[in-house]
């Protein structure tokens, strides 16, 4: 098939309605504490990355599933407001929307619980329904919040029409050889790199570089992010570089990884070389962590 020339990022993945709670600390087992405030936010790694790609100026399409509930309606409205094509996000009858609760402590760090809900209904039928979008896709973005078999079906369909496949392997889980064989680039943070590489990864630029180098034993190319320390890249053709984090006044790091991944895919879809795409993503993610949640 002829490779697509349309700069279209298609995200096949999760949509969660997030409830973010500000608390003095994260509760320990058995502890109930009083928080200061809470805010709702539309998220899910898939939804966040689609919004990020649209913000970076390319056409972004989302394939996903929400519940037939108020959270689902809010998730669809959020995609509309961001200019994401969500014709292939369907409502799953009788299943609740995906949702999460994240508790932020005074330092801005957080812990979260996710309920996948409607996201687990995604499957080959969703890929078949979106075949026109799939055929025009330059870059397909996947994450680990939907069934692996569905990710494989999406990757296979986009690959056969000439698009590139980028997996943000988050949260960490075992990947099948079938999925790995379809990937062009894997993007992970230090924790996920540790899981995939099977060795401890130090959350420094040097640690990220070593992890990226190790990951190319199994993946054609790997990007390892290390928060404010920076990001490292390595591929099987000998390409390797590391980029320091951009010093900013951090307001919240929530969603930094998704902003990085969406901006990276957008730059790649526009035809920028990988190194330039990583630079653009590093800048976009630094801007995000310096921006208050309500202004994003």
Q: Report the C-alpha gap between 50 and 11 in whole angstroms.
A: 6
CB closer to ligand ATP out of 66 and 188? 188
Omega of the bond leading into 171 within 30 degrees of 0 (cis): yes
Contact region with ligand ATP (CB under 6 A), list: 21-29, 65-73, 159-167, 253-261: 253-261
Q: Determine which residue in the list 256, 266, 274, 277 makes contact with ligand ATP, applying CB under 6 A.
A: 256
Contact region with ligand ATP (CB under 6 A), list: 18-26, 62-70, 146-154, 227-235: 227-235
* Strand, helix or coil for residue 20: strand
As to burial, measured by CB atoms within 10 angstroms (0-12 exposed, 13-18 middle, 19+ buried), residue 2 is: exposed
Quick one: which of 289, 291, 263 has its CA closest to 276?
Answer: 263
Q: Tell whether residue 147 is a contact of ligand ATP (CB under 6 A).
A: no
Which of positions 195-224 make contact with ligand ATP (CB under 6 A)? none
* Strand, helix or coil for residue 247: coil
CB closer to ligand ATP out of 11 and 59? 11
Q: Could you tell me if 61 and 269 are in contact, meaning their C-beta atoms sit under 8 angstroms apart?
A: no
Q: Tell whether residue 186 is a contact of ligand ATP (CB under 6 A).
A: no
Task: Give the Cβ contact number of residue 236 at 10 Å.
Answer: 11
Q: Tell whether residue 280 is a contact of ligand ATP (CB under 6 A).
A: no
CB closer to ligand ATP out of 142 and 256? 256
Q: Please state the separation of Cα 237 from the chain's center in Å.
A: 25
Closest separation between CB of residue 226 and ligand ATP, Å?
Answer: 5
Q: Report the C-alpha gap between 99 and 41 in whole angstroms.
A: 10
Spot the catalytic one: 18, 203, 235, 258.
258
CB closer to ligand ATP out of 85 and 229? 229
Q: Per 3-state DSSP, what percentage of the chain is helix, strand, and coil (rounded to 5)?
A: 40, 25, 35
Q: Determine which residue in the list 161, 204, 253, 291 makes contact with ligand ATP, applying CB under 6 A.
A: 253
Q: Could you tell me if 89 and 7 are in contact, meaning their C-beta atoms sit under 8 angstroms apart?
A: no
Q: Phi/psi of residue 177, each to 5°?
A: -60, -30
Give the pair of three-digit tokens for residue 36.
């200061």
CB closer to ligand ATP out of 165 and 256? 256
Q: Determine which residue in the list 91, 180, 248, 251 makes contact with ligand ATP, applying CB under 6 A.
A: 248
Q: Determine which residue in the list 257, 263, 266, 268 makes contact with ligand ATP, applying CB under 6 A.
A: 257
Task: Give the Cβ contact number of residue 235 at 10 Å.
Answer: 18
CB closer to ligand ATP out of 55 and 254? 254
Residue 237 CB contacts under 8 Å (≥ 6 apart), including other chains? none
The residue count for binding ligand ATP (CB under 6 A) is 21
Q: Determine which residue in the list 172, 228, 241, 272 makes contact with ligand ATP, applying CB under 6 A.
A: 228
Residue 25 appears among annotated catalytic residues: no
Q: Tell whether residue 251 is a contact of ligand ATP (CB under 6 A).
A: no
Active site residues: 258
Binding site for ligand ATP (CB under 6 A): 189, 225-228, 231, 245-246, 248, 250, 253-258, 260, 282, 285-286, 289
């Amino acid at each position: 098939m002829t490779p697509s020339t349309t700069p279209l990022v298609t995200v096949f993945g999760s949509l969660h309605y997030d409830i973010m709670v500000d608390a003095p600390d994260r509760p320990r087992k058995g502890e109930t504490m009083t928080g200061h405030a809470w805010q709702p936010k539309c998220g899910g790694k898939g939804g966040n990355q689609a919004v990020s790609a649209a913000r970076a100026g390319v056409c972004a399409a989302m394939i996903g599933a929400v519940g037939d509930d108020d959270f689902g309606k809010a998730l669809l409205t959020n995609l509309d407001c961001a200019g994401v094509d969500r014709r292939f996000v369907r409502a799953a009858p009788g299943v609740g929307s995906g949702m999460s609760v994240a508790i932020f402590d005074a330092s801005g760090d957080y812990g979260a619980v996710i309920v996948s809900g409607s996201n687990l209904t995604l499957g080959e039928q969703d890929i078949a329904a979106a075949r026109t979008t799939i055929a025009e896709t330059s870059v397909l973005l996947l994450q680990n919040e939907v069934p692996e078999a569905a990710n494989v079906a999406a990757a296979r369909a986009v690959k056969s029409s000439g698009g590139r496949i980028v997996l943000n392997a988050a949260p960490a889980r075992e990947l099948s050889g079938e999925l790995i064989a379809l990937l062009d680039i894997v993007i992970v943070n230090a924790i996920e790199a540790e899981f995939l590489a099977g060795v401890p990864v130090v959350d420094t630029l040097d640690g990220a570089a070593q992890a990226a180098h190790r990951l190319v034993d199994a993946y054609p190319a790997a990007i390892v992010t290390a928060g404010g320390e920076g990001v490292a890249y390595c591929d099987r053709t000998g390409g390797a570089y590391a980029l320091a984090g951009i010093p900013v006044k951090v307001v919240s790091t929530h969603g930094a990884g998704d902003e990085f991944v969406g901006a990276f895919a957008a730059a790649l879809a526009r035809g920028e070389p990988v190194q330039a795409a990583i630079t653009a993503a590093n800048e976009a993610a630094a801007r995000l962590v310096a921006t208050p949640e309500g202004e994003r």
